[in-house]
């Protein structure tokens, strides 16, 4: 005797509860991925950042510098005109940009006090992220970097557009 299995006979319903659970888990996972890989810095609107295939990202950045065609800005405040930085003679005036150095030393001291107030040890160098237009001259970039280092910000990161390294 052969027993009929009944394929195609009778009405059956699909249980959507399990499928909804799976889709909810996938959705939560994707949202978490996007949240942890978000941008660290919002690029200034008048800059064209250079491209990079580097995958390193800074751990914590407390200060940002933007160097555009007109101004050098520290945390959105205009400090010195870019043309003045470009015209500064390194042989006569040195590499330090005086106005920028003054502001950065002040910011570094504030950062040190905040670290000490939290009860942590100051590891010696402040973190700073620099946004430069990719068409900016090397001379201006070098003077800004030298000023950052002399002011106590030794961990300098550059904002770039990350390209896919697998391409």
pLDDT tens digit sequence for 31-88: 877 655 455 555 566 666 666 666 666 566 668 888 888 888 888 888 998 888 888 8
Residues 154-160 have a mean pLDDT of: 80
pLDDT tier for residue 129 given thresholds of 50, 70 and 90? confident
* Residue boundaries of the structural domains of the chain: 51-162
Kindly report the three-state secondary structure assignment for every residue of 99-132: HHHHHHHHHHHHHHHHHHHCCCCCCCCCEEEEEE
Instruction: Identify the pLDDT of residue 41.
Output: 55
Inter-residue contact 137 to 64 (CB < 8 Å): no
User: pLDDT of 94-119, one tens digit each?
Assistant: 888 888 989 999 888 888 888 888 88
Say what the pLDDT of residue 44 is.
62
Give me the pLDDT at residue 167, please: 43
* 1 or 95, greater pLDDT: 95
Better-predicted residue by pLDDT, 140 or 11: 140
Sign of the CA dihedral running 25, 60, 85, 76: positive
User: Can you tell me the distance from the alpha carbon of 143 to that of 134, in angstroms, rounded to the nearest whole number?
Assistant: 16
CATH of domain 51-162: 3.30.420
What's the confidence (pLDDT) of residue 75?
86
């Amino acid at each position: 005797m052969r027993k009929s299995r009944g394929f195609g006979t009778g009405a059956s319903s699909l249980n959507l509860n399990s499928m909804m659970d799976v889709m909810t888990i996938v959705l939560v996972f994707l949202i978490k991925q996007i949240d942890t890989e978000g941008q660290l810095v919002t690029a200034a609107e008048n800059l064209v950042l250079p491209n990079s295939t580097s995958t390193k990202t800074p751990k914590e950045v407390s200060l940002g510098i933007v160097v555009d065609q007109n101004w050098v800005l520290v945390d959105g405040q205009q400090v010195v005109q870019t043309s003045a930085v470009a015209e500064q003679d390194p042989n006569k005036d040195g590499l330090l940009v005086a106005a920028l150095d003054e502001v950065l030393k002040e910011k570094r001291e504030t950062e040190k006090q905040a670290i000490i107030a939290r009860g942590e040890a100051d590891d010696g160098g402040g973190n700073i992220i620099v946004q430069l237009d990719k068409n900016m001259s090397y001379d201006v970039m070098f003077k800004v970097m030298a000023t950052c280092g002399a002011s106590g910000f030794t961990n300098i990161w550059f904002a770039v557009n990350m390209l896919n390294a697998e391409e």
